[in-house]
Structure 1
Amino acid sequence: MRMPGKNASKAGLLSPDEIALREELRTDVQKLAGEIGERNMWHYAQLNAAADFIEGSFSRAALRTRRDSYQMQGQACHNVEAEISGSRPEIIVIGAHYDSVFGSPGANDNGTGVAATIALARRFAGTRPKHTLRFVAFVNEEPPYFLTGEMGSLVYARRCKERGDKISAMISLETIGYFSDAPHSQRYPSPVLGIPYPKVGNFIGFVSNIHSRPLLRRVVALFRRHAKIPSEGAALPWFVPGVSWSDQWSFWKYGYSAIMVTDTAPFRYPYYHSSNDTPDKLDYDRFTLVVSGIEKVIQELAR
């Protein structure tokens, strides 16, 4: 699918502000994947340590925080939220899951998404957007809870629907820190799907279901207006492998428009869901350019 806007041909240089952002992202990924490490229901203390770290990061930015908690197997599980109230009833959710798959420290999947969510929340702290901004770290995205009623983002989205929350957009940040300039470094769920898209994994991807196509096109156009890194977008049926593989799926289930931002995870990243998904594998410069571009997208959407 052709996306609007002029696409960057290659990654640009970091500005001084982006250099500072890069070090912030590096520090938070190291905290999550290097210090806390594997974090899931089998490593429950580490899962809670990650929740505490995220909540503390939001609080230190002077943001109003809340835990959206639920019980599972007799243990409390926590989605962690920071909200910046807007002057209009519409809500934009920016989120990422903070658990890691069993056996992995989860640097790229999904320490990058969480670090980005925290960094973006810091940058919008103290602002007065028209749309309410919610920055949410979701628990239990990984198997065996993946695409089940125990998935943290599904619990969260269901409660949003029950409250009548007017969510106009949800952006899921999922595995966004690995890039390659090597030939044939990018794969796709099927050879046919890969025909119109690059064979080199030097871009960031934007993915949605068919219902969310208008949001996808708007986000990609805004990203390309500001970002210094190549991007690609695709609106596809939810059942195509990879399309539903993160927290945007939960919001689709309740009729909300939602997209995923991703480096395409297993279709590019050789350390996906492994013990080698460590902080040293990431491309922090290009990761930073993605986050910087998403910041500009949120600014535009929140107006």
Structure 2
Amino acid sequence: MRNLCFIILLATFVSCTHSQNNTKTTLQFTDTVRVLNDLVNITNTQKPRNYKNITTLDSVANYIKSEFIKVCDTTAFQNFDVENKTYKNVIGSIGIENKERIIIGAHYDVYGNHTGADDNASGVAGILELARLLSKEKLNYRIDFVAYTLEEPPFFRTAQMGSAIHAHYLNENKIPVKGMICLEMIGYYNDQPNSQEYPIPGMSLIYGNKADYITVVQHKNSGEFSNEFNQLFKSKKIIKTESLKGNSMLPGVDFSDHLNYWNLNYDAVMITNTAFYRNKNYHKKGDLLSTLNLHKMALVIEQLYLTIQSLK
């Protein structure tokens, strides 16, 4: 049954991509079939992958780890207890001979009883594909790919967030980190006018009113890593890219796992399609695979891959 669903979804995505995507960019590295397979495996669960359904979360965590095992030098669960229940971050590492690390993370849990295709199966599928691509490269840094749990309410902005657990582990063990890249909702796009909203109305004069781009979000006090990353990411010109610097005073800027790295003074960026400012399925039952633009999502992954390769 799962294979049949996958074939139907693949045919749907091919059709939707042809009609929705206006770019002439051809994918050279990212495998959209693999990415779609990840999306199906992450979202096709009997119960929603929220904090109440430990068995479902564990099943998804096991899938993520099984994919990391195929390409990473080491893999591990980072277990932690919350309210007498055990939750798991999943970590896959490459380039373990290098001392300094880059963290690439995305959360795999969902809010409420929803599928969470864009939020945030898209981000997790992104880190899985990046692990496959980057595992073939000789890099200057160790890369830890981390799939977090408990990003969503009721644990958001608490010490129980999976990313808070991970960030504090790095800090307490004085592990050198060059920077962190958070993937938060990278699958939804809309080329129609007025499909993009902003926290400040005047921002549309700068960024436009079409939800057709990906965004690099930096802290207003960005460091060397995030500045270099932003410059390189935009220079690849594979997909339309915008950038923004801000802090918690601008709603949405810190609404993901990079928040916990900022809190400990790590240099971090968020890669996002701007979440609820464009995707009206955010935290709703309509956040389904059929609403994603697989091709544009794959372009984001490819641009990330080439950018990380280029980091000095």
User: What TM-score comes out, normalization by structure 2 length?
Assistant: 0.89
Paired position in structure 2 for 1:267: 277
Paired position in structure 2 for 1:132: 142
Paired position in structure 2 for 1:179: 189
Paired position in structure 2 for 1:151: 161
Question: RCO higher in 1 or 2 (8 Å CA, sep ≥ 6)?
Answer: 1
CA distance in structure 2 between the aligned counterparts of 1:235 and 1:74, rounded to whole angstroms: 39
Paired position in structure 2 for 1:15: 27
The residue correspondences of 1:96-175 to structure 2 (distance < 5 A) are 96-175=106-185
CA distance in structure 2 between the aligned counterparts of 1:16 and 1:133, rounded to whole angstroms: 22
1:293 deviates by 0.2
Closer, same or farther in 2 for the Cα pair 1:36/1:245, shift >3 Å? farther
Closer, same or farther in 2 for the Cα pair 1:193/1:254, shift >3 Å? same
Paired position in structure 1 for 2:66: 56
Tell me whether 85-94 or 152-161 shows the greater mean CA deviation: 85-94
1:213 deviates by 5.5
Paired position in structure 2 for 1:196: 206
Matched, 1:230 2:244: no
1:201 deviates by 0.7
The residue correspondences of 1:66-85 to structure 2 (distance < 5 A) are 66-85=76-95
CA distance in structure 2 between the aligned counterparts of 1:75 and 1:15, rounded to whole angstroms: 42
Q: CA RMSD in A?
A: 1.6
Paired position in structure 2 for 1:7: none
CA distance in structure 2 between the aligned counterparts of 1:30 and 1:211, rounded to whole angstroms: 38
The residue correspondences of 1:216-295 to structure 2 (distance < 5 A) are 216-295=226-305
2:29/2:302 contact within 8 Å kept: no
CA distance in structure 2 between the aligned counterparts of 1:286 and 1:211, rounded to whole angstroms: 30
CA distance in structure 2 between the aligned counterparts of 1:58 and 1:88, rounded to whole angstroms: 19
- Displaced runs of 4 or more, over 6 A: none
- Say how many residue pairs are matched: 291
Amino acid at match of 1:27: N
1:45 deviates by 1.1
1:64 deviates by 0.9
What secondary structure is seen at the aligned counterpart in 2 of 1:195? helix
What secondary structure is seen at the aligned counterpart in 1 of 2:207? coil
Closer, same or farther in 2 for the Cα pair 1:183/1:37, shift >3 Å? farther
Closer, same or farther in 2 for the Cα pair 1:266/1:223, shift >3 Å? same
Structure 2 stretches of 5 or more lacking a match? 1-21
Tell me whether 186-195 or 117-126 shows the greater mean CA deviation: 186-195
What secondary structure is seen at the aligned counterpart in 2 of 1:196? helix
Write out per-residue CA displacement over residues 190-246 of structure 1, whole angstroms, 9 at most, x where no aligned residue. Answer: 213443212111000111211225433322321233242100001112331000100
Closer, same or farther in 2 for the Cα pair 1:102/1:227, shift >3 Å? same
1:70 deviates by 0.7
CA distance in structure 1 between the aligned counterparts of 2:64 and 2:199, rounded to whole angstroms: 33
1:35 deviates by 3.8
1:16 deviates by 5.2
What secondary structure is seen at the aligned counterpart in 2 of 1:177? coil
Tell me whether 51-60 or 123-132 shows the greater mean CA deviation: 123-132
Aligned-residue sequence identity (percent) comes to 30
1:36 deviates by 5.6
Closer, same or farther in 2 for the Cα pair 1:12/1:215, shift >3 Å? farther
1:68 deviates by 1.3
1:63 deviates by 3.5
Structure 1 stretches of 5 or more lacking a match? 1-9
